Structure formats: structure tokens, C-alpha cells
Amino acid sequence: PFPDITEIPGPSCYCGRRGCLETWVSGRALQAGYAQHSQQELKAEEIIAKMRSGDRLARLVWDRYIDRVARGLSLVVNTLDPDVFVMGGGMSNVAELYDELPTQLARYTFSRVFETPIRKARHGDSSGVRGAAWLWKG
């Protein structure tokens, strides 16, 4: 399910490759998607606010974003069957992510029912650093 044929080869990534998942499912990716269709550069927070106020383009860009997140995570579900997803980064602060993502994920997983919990990282944007420190400390 990822990438879609229309997404190949994908945008350049900071790592030097093209089409990495990060280039499709980050706040910057949401901003780029909106700018591509509107020629207007807005921050992710502004796009989310427009979506919440009923802006059609912002809603379409958000739907495309959620679809990409779902397709990316479905690869993990279908191969590893995790007990939980813990979402981090700036986009993890968008409440709609937790409402809409499970339904979208069910479209791409082997089972028609998606029951894996999707949680927001407890320590916000510093969760990754805390986890790395915890692992290093051992």
C-alpha cells in the first residue's frame, strides 16, 4: 500500500534519498501538500485550523495525509502486529489523527477490523530522547 504509484519517486528527503515515509507523513509534508494545491504556504497548525473551520482544500489535504499515515503504518501492522502504536512529533498533537486513523488503517490491514491502540506519546516531543536515554541506561 505504500507508496502509491503517483508518489514515486517522491520528494527528496533530508537523508539524501527520495520518497522516505518522513517526507509524506510529517507536518512539513502536510504543509507541502497544501502549498502544492493553493500556492499558499501555511503552517501545519493553520491548515488544521482551516480544516476544522470547514475549508474544503484543507480537508482534502488532511484526508490525503491520513491515508498516507495509514498506508505506512499498515506495513508495520501486517508484518509485525504490534501491541500498540505510540505517536510522536508535532502532528501527534492533532486530535483528529486518533479519531480517523483507525478507520483508515482497517482499509489496508489483513484484518477488516483494526484494534491496535494508537496512543499519543506521554512525554510529548521529548519521548524519543527519553526512550533512547532509558535504553542507553539499560
CATH number at residue 28: 3.30.420.40
Confidence of residue 80 (pLDDT cuts 50, 70, 90): very high
pLDDT at 1: 63
d(CA 75, CA 89): 20
pLDDT at residue 47, as a whole number: 99
pTM for the model stands at 0.88
- Is the pLDDT assigned to residue 114 strictly greater than 90? no
Phi, then psi, of 33 in degrees rounded to 5: -60, -40
Identify any residues that bridge with 87 across adjacent strands, giving them in sequence order: 120
Give, for 86, the enclosing helix (H) or strand (E): strand 85-87
User: Band of the pLDDT at 112, cuts 50, 70, 90?
Assistant: confident
> Is residue 58 predicted with pLDDT exceeding 90?
yes
How many structural domains are present in the chain?
Answer: 1
H helix intervals, the chain? 27-38, 44-52, 56-80, 95-106, 127-137
pLDDT at 39 over 80: yes
**What is the signed CA dihedral for 38, 44, 46, 51, rounded to 10 degrees?**
70
Domain that holds residue 66: 5-137
